[in-house]
Amino acid sequence: MIKAKTGIIITGASSGIGKAAAKEFARTGFKIFTIARRINELNRINDELEKEKISVETFPCNVASATNVEQVIKKIVAENRIGCLINNAGITSFKPALDNSVKDITDIISTNLLGSIYNIKYLLPHFIKNEGGTIINIISTAARKLFTESSAYTASKMGLLGYTDVLREEVRKHNIRVINVLPGATDTSMWSVEDRKEHSHRMMTADDVARTLVWLFLQQGNLVTEEITIRPIAGDI
């Protein structure tokens, strides 16, 4: 049974899908711990939720830093029982492989792949001690269908898919659910202003995706949705 005051950690909650998820889970009654680098943007969530008399807790953190992630996760679990980690923080470059700088590549892999792995690593002992938990990874359709100008991004998402598929087999015995969500085009600031102008009408909204995440977390019974692909009805951009 999932208790209402269960804690949910959401990385990359300062905008887009993570922010929408923070609001949607908070409205559902969960205690939310938001993580991102821009603390001002995390605090803005509370301004926006003020009228609804609900709030989230905010933690500045660069997920690409293992030390930073360890500090934040330790701080959160010291006083709270966490039921779910949503690994959502992510970046991309939309450049051909030839044009990616070493910094572009390092930033993408460190944030999307290593950042998610660090969060899992430091939270896993808490889940094992509590005999249960849920890890939801926001992957991408790019892990299953190839798009040009996304080489480092695709490597990071395929890497996370592989890592967490193995993890799932290791943690079943601890009653831990590992759910990989593969969203298609979603109208967030990950896309350029031009792309959003041209395509936003046929993209999913961050709220659409957030509602699906709540539904996945609340699924009852002796089951885990191991992988789910969600695309705009009109298909890929």
**At 42, is the secondary structure helix, strand, or coil?**
helix
* Number of Cβ within a 10 Å radius of residue 172: 12
| Nearer residue to ligand NAP within complex by CB, 7 or 183 | 183
Establish if 159 lies at the interface with ligand NAP (CB under 6 A).
no
Q: Is the four-CA dihedral 78, 80, 83, 86 of positive or negative sign?
A: negative
Element (H, E) at 181: strand 176-183
Which residue of 58, 100, 111, 164 would you call a contact of ligand NAP, by CB under 6 A?
A: 111
Which residue of 8, 59, 72, 88 would you call a contact of ligand NAP, by CB under 6 A?
A: 88
| Nearer residue to ligand NAP within complex by CB, 27 or 202 | 202
The one-character DSSP state at 86 is E
Which residue of 30, 183, 216, 227 would you call a contact of ligand NAP, by CB under 6 A?
A: 183
Strand partners, 60: 36
Which residue of 189, 198, 201, 226 would you call a contact of ligand NAP, by CB under 6 A?
A: 189
Write down the least CB distance from residue 138 to ligand NAP, Å: 4
Residues touching ligand NAP, count (CB under 6 A): 31
CA 211 to chain centre: 13
Write down the least CB distance from residue 183 to ligand NAP, Å: 4
Q: Which of 135, 130, 190, 182 is nearest to 158 (CA)?
A: 182
* Number of Cβ within a 10 Å radius of residue 222: 4
Establish if 73 lies at the interface with ligand NAP (CB under 6 A).
no
User: Is residue 86 within 8 Å of 11, Cβ to Cβ?
Assistant: yes
| Nearer residue to ligand NAP within complex by CB, 46 or 175 | 46
User: Is residue 54 within 8 Å of 27, Cβ to Cβ?
Assistant: yes
Establish if 64 lies at the interface with ligand NAP (CB under 6 A).
yes
179, 54, 115, 144: CA torsion to nearest 10:
40
Rounded to an integer, what distance in angstroms lies between the CA atom of residue 171 and that of residue 226? Answer: 13
Establish if 232 lies at the interface with ligand NAP (CB under 6 A).
no
Establish if 37 lies at the interface with ligand NAP (CB under 6 A).
yes
Establish if 133 lies at the interface with ligand NAP (CB under 6 A).
no
Binding range to ligand NAP, per CB under 6 A, among 25-33, 85-93, 171-179, 222-230: 85-93
Q: Site residues (CB under 6 A) for ligand NAP?
A: 11-18, 36-38, 41, 61-64, 88-91, 111-112, 138, 140, 183, 185-186, 188-190, 206
